Amino acid sequence: MQKKWKIKETDKQIVNNLADSLGVSQSIAHLLVIRGVTTFDEAKQFFRPDFSQLHNPFLMKDMQKAVDRIKTAIEKNEKILVYGDYDVDGTTSVAMLYTFLTTLTENIDYYIPDRYTEGYGISLQGIDYAKENNFTLIIALDCGIRAINQVNYANEKEVDFIICDHHNPAKEIPNAVAILNPKQKDCDYPFKELSGCGVGFKLIQGYSEKNNITFDKIQSLFDLLVLSIAADLVPMIDENRVFSFFGLKKINENPRVGIKALMDAAKRKGKWTISDIVFGIAPRINAAGRIEQGKKAVAVLIENDSFKATKLAQEIERLNKTRIGLDQDITKQALEMIDDNKKSTVVYSTNWHKGVVGIVASRLIESYYKPTVVLAEKDGKLTGSARSVKGFDLYKALLQCEKYLEKFGGHMYAAGLTLKKENLEDFIDAFERAVSNTILDEQLIPEVSIDMELDLHEIDDKLFRIIQQFSPFGPQNRTPIFITKAVKDSGYGRAVGADKTHLRLNITNENSRNSISSIGFGLTHHFKKIKDGQIFDICYSIDENDWNGRKNLQLKLRDIKSN
């Protein structure tokens, strides 16, 4: 698939001033300015995350109400139910708050809704469970901001709600005891991009401050918090950067028993990064809710017995392998259904597993870059997930198809939807019209965002060490991507890997005395461009290859273009 390369631009004067004040090269200053770091003080905060950079939790609307209600519940021995979504953000949120509250009360339990019988968010079934088991307070995490009817139902049953959410509120909000969500219009909290687990941590922080619990007693929760930040792809700035910095430190030095069991199941050696969490731990946690029940993910995360945690992690590993098999099979089938002549994709089968349709939609976009909907059938209805491409508002497109949908929800780049089977063809036509009428041709070409152009002789251990200090990486602080033009392979380029889909090269050019090893995952289709000494351009990040204890710099190729 052809990709367009877009180099980020900066104000040269700001770059020069920052380079002078920090005593760094123009290249490093340029990379910092791209990330919004323009002064000495901002650079100090960027490179040295510190707990002092965290905001006062009581700046968040309703924080005092939430803290007071939990305090009353504990003092009166009320039963508290911690309720969360079945994905990584939801399950880590539940594990985190449950772990904290168990140090304060024995009257505590947790609840994760079933993806298939209850669906996303707060369910009436969950509220009935609370009432039947004498819970008088539900603390909902990573969901609830739009649960108007559900909270009213709970109020009728004399079950109180505290909602901790980070999704966009509607005009009307639930009638809960307290709603913690920095995205509420009348909330003065200065950082709006917390994960659901992040909002939950601010509640813990607020409760601790008011009840003489020292910060060192709660910072051990950061390993759970960083899992949510990595998996939910929230911006890696402000508090998220602080949480992630210290969360990764804990994961690499002293992770809780359950997380260690999941890390062992992933069989990855060496220091863990945000990327390792995204691809190593997050899919395993998600697999529990996708294939069976998200409650299994919470169970392993809160387990303190290493033997039991290992057994739980092995069970989750089994579910993850099932998920991988379903993902691969369904993706293969779906790819054969795509109509090349359309600007959108809608595919469906009665045999597909509902739990992996979101993953499959993302996979299809990797091959056919256009707004995509993948549907599975259950109980006579089609339910599925939609994913978008950069710059295209998927939610607005679905709004134009609303009359054919039973329900839908989401945001610009991802959504969930349900429709009757008899409305499928009308929906496909309406969705294609909505996309075709509004999408720009350039939005159908994937874009690689480039930080800057480098020459090969500029790549050395010092540059790599400084770039490593830019971590943790994530949205709004991605791993720096570079381009180098007019390079060639030294003659050893070859396809590697079990399926020969990866490209191994030794890159050199006329300005470089030495070649540098390079790996391009899934880039074998570019082999014709690099053989026989041809000149080409590369797009890459700088990585380190650790082989048998020997570490060498290598380029991790993202794309190749003929010169």
- pLDDT above 90: residue 378: no
pLDDT of residue 514: 77
Please tell me the distance from the alpha carbon of residue 18 to that of residue 483, in angstroms, as a whole number: 23
pLDDT of residue 438: 95
Domains of the chain plus CATH, in order, are: 4-48+448-562 (2.40.50.460), 57-316 (3.90.1640.30), 337-444 (3.10.310.30)
Query: For the whole model, what pTM was predicted?
Result: 0.92
Q: 463, 491, 487: which is closest to 539 by C-alpha?
A: 487
Which residues 6+ apart lie within 8 Å of 113 measured at CB? 83, 85, 86, 119, 120, 121, 122, 123, 125, 126, 294
Report phi then psi at 213, rounded to 5: -100, 120
β-pairing, 536-547 vs 550-562, is antiparallel
Q: What is the pLDDT of residues 31-80, one digit of tens each?
A: 999 999 999 999 999 999 999 999 999 999 999 999 999 999 999 999 99
Please tell me the distance from the alpha carbon of residue 18 to that of residue 24, in angstroms, as a whole number: 8
Q: Quickly state the pLDDT bin for 563 (edges 50, 70, 90).
A: confident
Strands (E), 98-146: 108-111, 135-141
Strand order in the sheet with 79-84: 108-111, 79-84, 135-141, 160-164, 178-180
Q: What are the tokens at 554? A: 């290598």
Q: Quickly state the pLDDT bin for 259 (edges 50, 70, 90).
A: very high
Of 171-180, 256-265, 288-297, the one with minimum mean pLDDT is 288-297
Q: Quickly state the pLDDT bin for 318 (edges 50, 70, 90).
A: very high
Q: Quickly state the pLDDT bin for 270 (edges 50, 70, 90).
A: confident
C-beta atoms surrounding 466 within 10 Å:
15
- pLDDT above 90: residue 550: no
- pLDDT above 90: residue 407: no
Q: Quickly state the pLDDT bin for 186 (edges 50, 70, 90).
A: very high
Q: Quickly state the pLDDT bin for 549 (edges 50, 70, 90).
A: confident
Q: What are the tokens at 9? A: 């631009």
Q: What is the pLDDT of residues 120-167, one digit of tens each?
A: 889 999 999 999 999 999 999 999 998 999 999 999 999 999 999 998
Please tell me the distance from the alpha carbon of residue 557 to that of residue 563, in angstroms, as a whole number: 16
Mean pLDDT for the stretch of residues 406-431: 90
Q: What is the pLDDT of residues 480-507, one digit of tens each?
A: 999 999 999 988 888 898 889 999 999 9
pLDDT of residue 290: 87
- Is there a contact between 299 and 314 (Cβ–Cβ < 8 Å)? no
pLDDT of residue 410: 76
For 408, how many CA atoms within 13 A lie in the half-sphere containing its CB? Answer: 27
Please state, for a pLDDT cut of 70, what percent of the chain lies above it: 100
pLDDT of residue 1: 73
- pLDDT above 90: residue 510: no
Q: What is the mean pLDDT of the chain?
A: 94
- pLDDT above 90: residue 279: yes
Q: Quickly state the pLDDT bin for 278 (edges 50, 70, 90).
A: very high
β-pairing, 536-547 vs 482-489, is antiparallel
Between these two residues, 539 and 531, which has the higher pLDDT value?
A: 539
Please tell me the distance from the alpha carbon of residue 491 to that of residue 493, in angstroms, as a whole number: 6
Mean pLDDT for the stretch of residues 369-388: 92
